[in-house]
Chains A and B, each alone.
Chain A
């Protein structure tokens, strides 16, 4: 399969990418590693007429100490996040989850910014950054702004980014010593999660769900129950509350709801251990 024809423009830097987005409007899509967008283009699920190539914006590939947080450049590849020593120490759930994305070949190309901006509810990293309570930095024609992760995912493959904004940085809290766990339930090693659950316990408890609705989701009912003193068992029983689990070849909504409850229990137990 070969994608429909498009024009390919290589951005020299972030400002150039933003200018190109302004020039081409909603005809244009940014492509980083291309491992989410290109498969969709091959299937004609996405038919952009202009691709703005940001694959070479290497100055957006970094992992830095930001004081109370770790700042990760949007173009940082999954492989780097998986193997980065600072993240392993300060935010191990992110390294672990990055290592669960696709397979090694995919992780050599895919980027954290691309994965989050793509806003796929079945994707691993969005759940991890949701459970962590990350902050995103977006750059547009008028400068940069911070977006709390809880306000970022607005719909099915839709985010709070405007047409002329580029996601530039992901800020995750330092949580050394926090309890954490990621449950990814799938049938084959490299598949998307049928359901996934990310949990971070660091005084407060963050729980996020993969593939349980049209966006990556916080399991707010579970979080509130834990905050109110409920047991792990009682809280996990609420994992499917407020979700709209999709149906597909792998699972019915009812099966996904069951998985969400079981996996949330496992994740919370492991994160409490």
Chain B
């Protein structure tokens, strides 16, 4: 299969049962995408396929054949610059242990793509598929709202 990950094209033979998260982590060695629950509950493995947030533990790698995947490693525009969502998480301290953070950031970017001006309630609903085991939701929600505000100001 041939897949574009963070703008680079990769061609590999994979076993059909290979999960997308396994392919990204073990074959491509992009270990920013975490495996949490492995049962599509926690959202730690969230990445984008053709621009939409999906849980990569519940997708076969072959289902992403020919598609464009973005992982947390591909979000920042350069090595010296954070994506606005990453910057908002940093400014608002939207992380504690950091384990859920890659998935939270990817889900949050997808959320703002679909709803650029969410209410606090909509942010909480929009992140219902992502669990923070530190229960640090308050600052995560603040970070997403702050990113939405900054995005609106720069648009």
Contacts and interface: CB of A to CB of B under 8 A. Distances in A.
Contacts of A51: 16
A114 to B, nearest CB: 13
B43 A1 contact: no
Interface stretch (A35-43, A135-143, A149-157, A209-217): A35-43
A189 interface: yes
B18 A190 contact: no
Contacts of B43: 103, 105
B40 A104 contact: no
A38 B59 contact: yes
Nearest to B38: A1
A108 B22 CA distance: 20
Which has the most chain B C-beta neighbours within 10 Å: A8, A53, A79, A103?
Answer: A103
B59 A190 contact: no
Nearest to B42: A190
A108 to B, nearest CB: 4
A61 B114 CA distance: 19
Given A5-B17, A103-B129, A104-B128, A190 B58 contact: no
Contact of A39 (B15, B58, B62): B58
A108 B107 CA distance: 12
A34 B17 contact: no
The main secondary structure of chain B at its interface with chain A is mixed
B92 interface: no
Interface residues of B, number: 30
B7 to A, nearest CB: 21
Contacts of A6: 16-17
Given A34-B63, A190-B128, A2 B41 contact: no
B140 interface: no
B58 A38 contact: yes
A32 to B, nearest CB: 10
A7 interface: yes
Interface in B1-51: 15-19, 22, 38-41, 43, 46
B58 A8 contact: no
B110 interface: yes
B18 to A, nearest CB: 7
Given A35-B40, A39-B40, 11 more contacts: A38-B60, A53-B63, A102-B129, A103-B128, A104-B111, A104-B126, A105-B40, A105-B53, A105-B107, A106-B40, A108-B53
11 contacts: A7-B16, A8-B60, A34-B60, A39-B40, A53-B62, A55-B63, A105-B46, A105-B54, A106-B58, A108-B54, A190-B128
Interface of A: 1-8, 34-35, 38-39, 42, 51, 53, 55, 79, 102-106, 108-109, 189-190
